[in-house]
Structure 1
Amino acid sequence: MTTKKFDSYSHLLDRTARRVKGYAQQRFTTGNFDVTVDQWLILKSLDDDRYLKQKELAELTGKDNPTLTRIIDLLCKKGLTERVMHKDDRRSFTVHLTEPGKAKLLELSPRVNEIRMKAWENLTEHDYEQLKTILNKIYQNLEP
């Protein structure tokens, strides 16, 4: 693949990712979700009574540590998450959903799914499978 073609594809991928996130954030704002897209990502990652160390949460969500710390601080302030001392390591904490956090997740999940479906509305099942395959290959190519 030529560098010019690669740059074009990279631009399309970046542009699309920004459009998807921007569209979602606009809908979160106008829909009075009371959380941002990034905060939603953290809440969703903590679903199923998960207790995750901040480092695990950072890896799972692709957020750097300072950004993740700010997001968790805001979610704790809203009462949606809390930090708990790690049971085996008193120097670290785990993060998990509070009952209001679980309720927020339950309340917003159908609305978030509607937002996500907007991006997929003109894609066939075959389109989706191809896209998933390609994105997984790109992701695997960049594994450390």
Structure 2
Amino acid sequence: MKIENVILFQIDKTSKIAKLYSQREFERLGMGITVEQWILLKIIEENDGLTQKELADKSLRDPASITRTLDLLNKKEFVERKPVEDNRRQYSICLTRNGKTFIDKFMPIINNHRAKSIDGISQDELNTLNRLLEKIQQNMY
């Protein structure tokens, strides 16, 4: 079987194309962040107060890269680390007012990008695709 016919190759290829497209758009718009940074910001917005380990688990990234990315987002004043009570080694990660403003400003553009990615695909097709991808993910655990 040719590699182009392997579904995992197609999933990986689609993911890479989507990230490249998004990063080019982020740069064109002068957002000043990477796709990876955006993903972490959105996870933090949706789950305020996660620990760094929980954030690594949710984002499927290794803790070391999370630390580096959080350092950059903290420097941009988009996130802050707050000590976890009764645990000096853990911090909860919270969005700052600047971080929330940044997300609010760019979310409409992100929504347009998302809409473009599924242009011409029906809701039934999207539901089927979602179910199939979830099955593949479950098979891989």
Indicate the TM-score class for this superposition, using the shorter chain for normalisation.
Answer: over 0.9
Deviations 1:65-102 (A, max 9, x none): 11111110100000000111112312211111011011
Deviation at 1:28, TM superposition (A): 0.7
**1:3-51 per-position Cα deviation (integer Å, ceiling 9, x unaligned):** x378621211111110011111111110111221111111101115610
Counterpart position of 1:19: 17
Structure 1 vs Structure 2 CA RMSD: 1.6
1:126 is displaced (CA, Å) by: 1.4
For the Cα contact (< 8 Å) 1:51–1:94, is it kept in 2?
A: yes
Q: Which residue of 1 aligns with 2:63?
A: 65
Secondary structure, aligned partner of 1:129: helix
Q: Higher mean Cα deviation, 88-97 or 66-75? A: 88-97
Provide the TM-score with structure 1 as the length reference: 0.91
1:29 is matched with which residue? 27
Gaps in structure 1 of 5+ consecutive residues: none
User: Structure 2, unaligned stretches of length 5 or more?
Assistant: none
Partner of 2:86, secondary structure, is coil
- Give 2:38's aligned residue: 40
Equivalent pair of 1:49/1:97 in contact (CA under 8 Å): no
Q: Sequence identity, in percent?
A: 33
Which segments of structure 1 move beyond 4 Å, counting only runs of 4 or more? none
- Pairing 1:52-131 to 2, within 5 Å after superposition: 52-131=50-129
Q: Distance in 1 between matches of 2:86 and 2:136?
A: 36
Name the residue aligned to 1:138.
136
